[in-house]
Amino acid sequence: MDYVGGVAPVVTTFGRGNLHHLTYGPLLSNLGSATGFVPTSNEGASHFLLGFSYGYSGYAFYWDGAGEAFFQLGDSTETLAVGNSWTNATGVPATGQIVLGLNVASTAAGAQVRGDGPLPQVAYRIPDNICLD
């Protein structure tokens, strides 16, 4: 998940729930780790685009819904599972390699909740009327 050439992960979830996102490892001293979530009440499939911030060296995400969740990079046919908690998250630490089952619970516990301030907004629900093909 290097975001080379504009390729970003797209997460697909099934059923109601929240996609949680954490940015951590701030590269600037005035930034802190940030966390937040994007909800969906859709009973079927929902799609989320994950962005990133160059101000951080790592990020992680997980799905807390009752249904399954997976992600893909760009037009890749490979799908990978999404974790279901901060102790079993999907993420990319500073190494740049995708890690399934990443434990970032202690980092998430100390992170600021994303809000109206200067924190990165990096998870977006894609409206149902936008075609991903």
Q: How many helices (H) and strands (E) does the chain have?
A: 1, 11
In which band, very low, low, confident or very high, does the pLDDT at 26 lie, cut at 50, 70 and 90? Answer: confident
Q: Are strands 89-92 and 9-14 parallel, antiparallel or unpaired?
A: unpaired
**97/2 Cα distance (integer angstroms):** 9
In which band, very low, low, confident or very high, does the pLDDT at 119 lie, cut at 50, 70 and 90? Answer: very low
Tokens encoding 33: 């780790």
Closest CA to 88 of 69, 74, 72, 73: 69
* Residues 28-79 pLDDT 10s: 877 888 888 888 999 999 998 887 777 788 889 999 998 999 998 777 788 9
Neighbour order of strands in the sheet with 112-113: 99-102, 89-92, 56-63, 17-26, 34-40, 112-113
